[in-house]
Structure 1
Amino acid sequence: MAFCLEKDRDKFDNFVQFIEDHKDEPGAVMPVLQEAQKVFGYIPEPIVDLMALKLKKHSSEIYGVATFYSQFTFEPRGKHEICVCLGTACYVKGADRLLNDFCEALEIEPGQTTEDGEFSVIETRCVGECGIAPVVTVDGENIGYVKPDMIHKIIYDAKGGDSE
């Protein structure tokens, strides 16, 4: 799952062109980081170095911006993202337990990805759906009123009903 220039050559070439097209714009770091996250699914270390070189910035500045915003990750994410909202309403209704249950079921820690690259479990803050708390977002779709006994079905459904 790690970045591989040979495997990701087309993505890499398109990303380099994106940098070239935007490098002279004020505040180019943010849109270039967003593009990297979109293209690669995370921010690989060689891409940070490339950005620093092309944008004429120190890599520490790139890392500084990227670590400030929770939307960026330096680790590859799984094919399926399970985001557990830990905002106040969700937390009060047991979201912390749900987070632990998802991690236990997938045998990973929060923020990690399963060995097969299928799932990542991510802690998030308020998703704005307090009325249906606790909320879990799976591949961008909000699921409300989540209870612990729904964990395995949510995982099963995310895989498309594939039991492998």
Structure 2
Amino acid sequence: MTGSSGERVFIRLGPPPEEPNQFVVDGAPQAYPPDVRARLEVDAKEIIARYPNKRSALLPLLHLVQSEDSYLTPAGLEFCSEQLGLTGAEVSAVGSFYTMYRRGPTGEYLVGVCTNTLCAVMGGDAIFADLKEHLGIGNDQTTGDGTVTLQHIECNAACDFAPVVMVNWEFYDNQTSESARELVDSLRSGEPKAPTRGAPLCTFRQTSRILAGLPDERPDEGQGGAGAATLAGLRVAKEQGMQAPAVPESEPESRS
């Protein structure tokens, strides 16, 4: 197009080049071989049977194919669309909306560092910067041995325990740069540290199968409940004998 003064103006169309593309990765499978397809169809049938409308099974099916490839691939998207009778556009639109669905190969352990306000103030930004240097990778990149994928996360919903790091969605609370380095080193050594609370750690692909709704054989060790920061106000109120004011009774509405 031409500008107001007659000079030529070039406008780039489409997403910026630094943004993740739409599931186009070199070497990604375009279709599953018969044995893989048959195995996935058994799991898909079990998942779809839980829903009155089978298209409602799309989210867990996306986790299922992610457990196969570690990210969403053309093969996985095609499998979901065929199982549910949806178009490729419908499946990819959903898959590209949620950040839990990956667009590139993911390591055995997805390490997410919360860099939202509270965690950042408490040291989350410093932890993330330190881990990038320690691992030699940037955001959303994977170590050369394929063990750790590092990413910053906007909120891990655990502000009581800030700063928080999650590994495959399991919590590691009250982290420091030193403890976070020890954590990722343990992952790479094959002897991962146990999460602060919740179920024992498993690999990213195993986690994806669990999120798909398939059996989770891990022992339930409890989620820990609210932390001291959230309960501090309640504790002080009890110590001071404070109670919430009574709710006044509403007057009956007059009828004209």
**Which residue in the other structure is 1:77 paired with?**
106
Structure-1 separation of matches of 2:79 and 2:56: 17
SS at match of 1:105: helix
Pair member with larger Rg: 2
Render the CA deviation track for 1:42-96: whole Å, top value 9, x for unaligned.
2222211232234332212111101111111121211122110123210222312
Alpha-carbon offset, residue 144 of structure 1 = 2.4
Report the residue type matching 1:106 in the other structure: L
CA RMSD, 1 decimal: 2.9
TM-score (norm 2): 0.53
Contact 1:45–1:74, Cα closer than 8 Å, also in 2: no
SS at match of 2:63: helix
Paired residue for 2:43, among 9, 18, 39? 18
Alpha-carbon offset, residue 129 of structure 1 = 2.2
Q: Which stretch of structure 1 is more off in the superposition, 95-104 or 141-150? A: 141-150
Structure 1: which 4+ aligned runs deviate by more than 6 Å?
Answer: none
Q: Which stretch of structure 1 is more off in the superposition, 47-56 or 114-123? A: 47-56
Distance 1:155 1:8, change over 3 A: farther
Report the residue type matching 2:103 in the other structure: F
Structure-2 separation of matches of 1:86 and 1:11: 38
Percent of matched pairs sharing the same residue: 24
Greater RCO (CA < 8 Å, at least 6 residues apart): 1
Contact 1:89–1:133, Cα closer than 8 Å, also in 2: yes
Distance 1:8 1:91, change over 3 A: farther
**Which residue in the other structure is 2:11 paired with?**
none
Alpha-carbon offset, residue 101 of structure 1 = 1.7
**Which residue in the other structure is 1:95 paired with?**
124
Report the residue type matching 2:163 in the other structure: P
Alpha-carbon offset, residue 121 of structure 1 = 0.6
Q: Which stretch of structure 1 is more off in the superposition, 94-103 or 51-60? A: 51-60
Contact 1:133–1:145, Cα closer than 8 Å, also in 2: yes
Distance 1:161 1:153, change over 3 A: farther
Q: In proportion to residue count, which structure has more helix?
A: 1
**Which residue in the other structure is 1:43 paired with?**
72
Matches within 5 A, 1:24-35: 25-35=54-64
Q: Which stretch of structure 1 is more off in the superposition, 76-85 or 54-63? A: 54-63
Structure-2 separation of matches of 1:121 and 1:109: 7
Paired residue for 1:159, among 182, 188, 207? 188
Structure 1 gaps of 5+ residues are none
The alignment covers a number of residue pairs equal to 161
Report the residue type matching 2:42 in the other structure: Q
Alpha-carbon offset, residue 140 of structure 1 = 4.2
Structure-2 separation of matches of 1:111 and 1:34: 19
